């Protein structure tokens, strides 16, 4: 079994030296209650940056010399567990590795992939955690309604692109912020956004938001934080809702320091709301979100984009793509 372990805690950007490729033998004998899976796809997520800091958050930190934690899809290769049979496709926290022997079904779900022409990576993108983040972040946290002007940062990413498409379905005007011409073109031409702001072109973000959102912002779905949040807050409307989904511009800041220059007075003046959320809180409601998104995908109203990479040994380089914008769509690793 090849696997990636954490060897040291990063300070700032995660250097590849923080990871080590380890080979180990897995004993193929299984006792009653145990099962072995072969990992098919590994989800590379911004949240991993938080998991390797020595900080208690909604989940304990990954320990030094521990296999890196990761969500993934896996196929059962041998089982003496009552719930799982050989050949079953499962989703769960299997880690950054090729194989995994388990004895608990905690947070492991069986996936029905019997539908024809289904690409399994969809269960880590639109029909997985990112899709659920977009869905509940908009419906429950932002409580979007028709005719809202919705601004989305990190718009061409796994969560952002689904969020924008859901907001369009709900009858909103949707503007995305993303880095680069290709991503902005994708948002308008493929994902149906009304407008896109390329924050990496030589623009003043504040002026660009004013131009793209002439009626102000009713909902800001923020994946980025920092100066992007500062700029968006200046344009919020009465009773605006800001969903703090992520703050990727801040994750590499030493000690996870929080950007502290937000002028929050517009939140006061506009009787607005800024609310964070963790999608795991909605785990018990995932089937509701999946049902809706499957329906919209079947109707051709939602497209999912995945960026699939290969080779577990390259995990460290792939992880950094999330922080330099090198990924285009849900970043998935095939070991």
Give contact residues for ligand NDP (rule: CB under 6 A): 45-47, 129-130, 133, 154, 156-160, 178-180, 183, 223-224, 245-249, 277-279, 322-323, 325, 327
Q: Which residues of 153-170 are buried (b: 16+ CB within 10 A; e: fewer)?
A: bbbbbbbbbbbbbbbbbb
Work out whether strand 236-244 and strand 273-276 pair parallel, antiparallel, or are unpaired: parallel
Residue tagged 């080590």 (tokens): 20
**Distance of closest approach, residue 136 Cβ to ligand NDP, in angstroms:** 9
Work out whether strand 273-276 and strand 2-6 pair parallel, antiparallel, or are unpaired: unpaired
Q: Between 45 and 194, whose beta carbon lies closer to ligand NDP?
A: 45
Q: Between 74 and 247, whose beta carbon lies closer to ligand NDP?
A: 247
**Distance of closest approach, residue 140 Cβ to ligand NDP, in angstroms:** 12
**Distance of closest approach, residue 164 Cβ to ligand NDP, in angstroms:** 12
* Sequence-distant (≥ 6) Cβ neighbours of residue 107 within 8 angstroms: 92, 93, 283
Q: Between 14 and 178, whose beta carbon lies closer to ligand NDP?
A: 178
* Helix count and strand count (H, E) for the chain: 9, 15
Half-sphere exposure (Cβ direction) of 120: Cα atoms closer than 13 Å: 21
Q: Between 19 and 186, whose beta carbon lies closer to ligand NDP?
A: 186
In this chain, which residue has its C-beta nearest to ligand NDP?
Answer: 157
Q: Between 207 and 281, whose beta carbon lies closer to ligand NDP?
A: 281
**Distance of closest approach, residue 225 Cβ to ligand NDP, in angstroms:** 8
Contact 129, 158 (CB under 8 A): no
**Distance of closest approach, residue 67 Cβ to ligand NDP, in angstroms:** 21
Total residue length of the chain: 335
State how far the Cα of 153 lies from the Cα of 197, in Å rounded to an integer.
9
Q: Between 45 and 218, whose beta carbon lies closer to ligand NDP?
A: 45
**Distance of closest approach, residue 76 Cβ to ligand NDP, in angstroms:** 26
Half-sphere exposure (Cβ direction) of 92: Cα atoms closer than 13 Å: 25
Q: Between 37 and 293, whose beta carbon lies closer to ligand NDP?
A: 293
**Distance of closest approach, residue 125 Cβ to ligand NDP, in angstroms:** 9
Nearest alpha-carbon partner for 131 in 194, 204, 43: 43
């Amino acid at each position: 079994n090849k696997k990636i372990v954490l060897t040291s805690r990063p300070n700032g950007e995660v250097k590849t030296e923080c990871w080590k490729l380890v080979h180990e033998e897995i004993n193929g004998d299984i006792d009653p209650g145990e099962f072995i899976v072969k990992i098919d796809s590994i989800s590379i997520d911004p949240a991993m940056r938080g998991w390797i800091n020595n900080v208690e958050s909604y989940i304990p930190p990954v320990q030094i010399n521990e296999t890196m934690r990761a969500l993934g899809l896996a196929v059962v290769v041998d089982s003496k567990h009552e719930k799982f049979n050989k050949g079953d496709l499962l989703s769960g926290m299997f880690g950054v590795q090729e194989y995994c022997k388990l004895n608990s079904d905690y947070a492991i779900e069986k996936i029905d992939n019997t539908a024809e022409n289904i690409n399994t990576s969809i269960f880590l993108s639109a029909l997985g955690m990112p899709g659920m983040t977009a869905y509940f972040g908009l419906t429950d946290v932002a409580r979007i309604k028709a005719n809202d002007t919705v601004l989305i940062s990190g718009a061409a990413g796994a969560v952002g692109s689904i969020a924008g498409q859901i907001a369009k379905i709900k009858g909103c005007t949707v503007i995305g912020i993303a880095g680069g011409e290709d991503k902005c073109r994708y948002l308008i031409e493929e994902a149906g956004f009304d407008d896109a702001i390329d924050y990496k072109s030589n623009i003043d973000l504040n002026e660009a938001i004013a131009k793209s959102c002439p009626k102000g912002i009713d909902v800001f779905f923020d994946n980025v934080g920092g100066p992007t949040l500062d700029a968006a807050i200046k344009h919020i409307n009465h009773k605006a809702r800001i969903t703090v989904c992520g703050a990727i511009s801040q994750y590499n800041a030493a000690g996870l320091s929080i950007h502290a220059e937000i002028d929050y007075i517009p939140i006061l003046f506009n009787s607005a709301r800024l609310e964070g959320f963790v999608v795991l809180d909605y785990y018990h409601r995932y089937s509701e979100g999946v049902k809706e998104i499957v329906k919209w995908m079947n109707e051709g109203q939602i497209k999912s984009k995945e960026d699939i990479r290969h080779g577990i040994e390259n995990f460290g380089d792939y992880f950094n793509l999330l922080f330099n914008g090198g990924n285009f769509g849900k970043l998935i690793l095939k070991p």
